[in-house]
């Protein structure tokens, strides 16, 4: 079964003024669609991989489960499809962004000392990621939370590739295409504004199929 571009759970204008509608439209219909299209092209050569699903493909990236002919495509385009599918879900309109649930806040307080301390660490991961990539909040295998970042379209599910594997529950896209139309070269300005539309805890689902 071919992968498809998931619809946004809100209008392109919903995140304004913090993320503009034109950026959202291009990001969703052009960039994300390209990852879906290229992932489907790669999988079509090895239909036996269809049963893995999106999460399974990402977990298998960098391992012998993925044929060498499409290893790079799965890593890049499978990662891009998963990352964006989660990214859309963790955001919401500014008036609906009420922060994490009580359980998640308690876990954040335990891991980082406070939500503000967590934000500072997350912002640092996003700001200092060299070039294109992502910042993440993940649940590690031992159940503890951690902040990490990855290059390009890598993600913490790709355990054979990344330094800090885990299940992503919050991800921030810091590729320039995510913010350049509005914020130009100010990645910190974009990161600061992003907290006005994230996280929407009710929609944060670590399992994207």
pLDDT of residue 207: 46
Ranges in the chain, pLDDT < 70: 1, 97-98, 200-209
pLDDT of residue 50: 87
CA distance linking residue 15 with residue 90, whole number of Å: 12
- Residue 32 is labelled as binding a ligand: no
Write down all domains in the chain, each with its CATH number in brackets: 20-209 (3.55.40.20)
pLDDT of residue 89: 94
Residue-wise pLDDT for 106-160, tens only, equals: 999 999 999 999 999 999 999 999 999 999 999 999 999 999 999 999 999 999 9
- Residue 173 is labelled as binding a ligand: yes
pLDDT of residue 206: 47
- Residue 18 is labelled as binding a ligand: no
Residues 163/122, Cβ–Cβ less than 8 Å: no
Q: What is the pTM of this model?
A: 0.94
- Residue 31 is labelled as binding a ligand: no
């Amino acid at each position: 079964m071919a992968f498809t571009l998931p619809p946004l759970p809100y209008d392109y204008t919903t995140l304004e003024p913090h993320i503009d509608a034109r950026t959202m439209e291009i990001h969703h219909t052009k960039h994300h669609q390209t990852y879906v299209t290229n992932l489907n092209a790669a999988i079509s050569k090895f239909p036996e991989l269809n049963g893995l699903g999106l999460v399974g493909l990402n977990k298998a990236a960098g391992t012998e489960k993925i044929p060498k002919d499409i290893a790079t495509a799965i890593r890049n385009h499978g990662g891009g499809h998963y990352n964006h599918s989660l990214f859309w879900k963790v955001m919401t309109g500014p008036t609906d962004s009420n922060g994490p649930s009580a359980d998640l806040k308690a876990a954040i307080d335990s891991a980082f000392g406070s939500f503000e301390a967590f934000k500072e660490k997350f912002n640092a991961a996003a700001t200092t990621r060299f070039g294109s990539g992502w910042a993440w909040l993940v649940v590690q295998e031992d159940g503890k939370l951690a902040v990490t970042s990855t290059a390009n379209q890598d993600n913490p599910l790709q355990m054979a590739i990344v330094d800090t594997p885990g299940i992503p529950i919050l991800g921030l896209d810091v590729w320039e295409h995510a913010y350049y139309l509005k914020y130009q070269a100010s990645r910190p300005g974009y990161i600061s504004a992003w907290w006005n539309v994230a996280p929407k805890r009710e929609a944060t689902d670590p399992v994207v199929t």
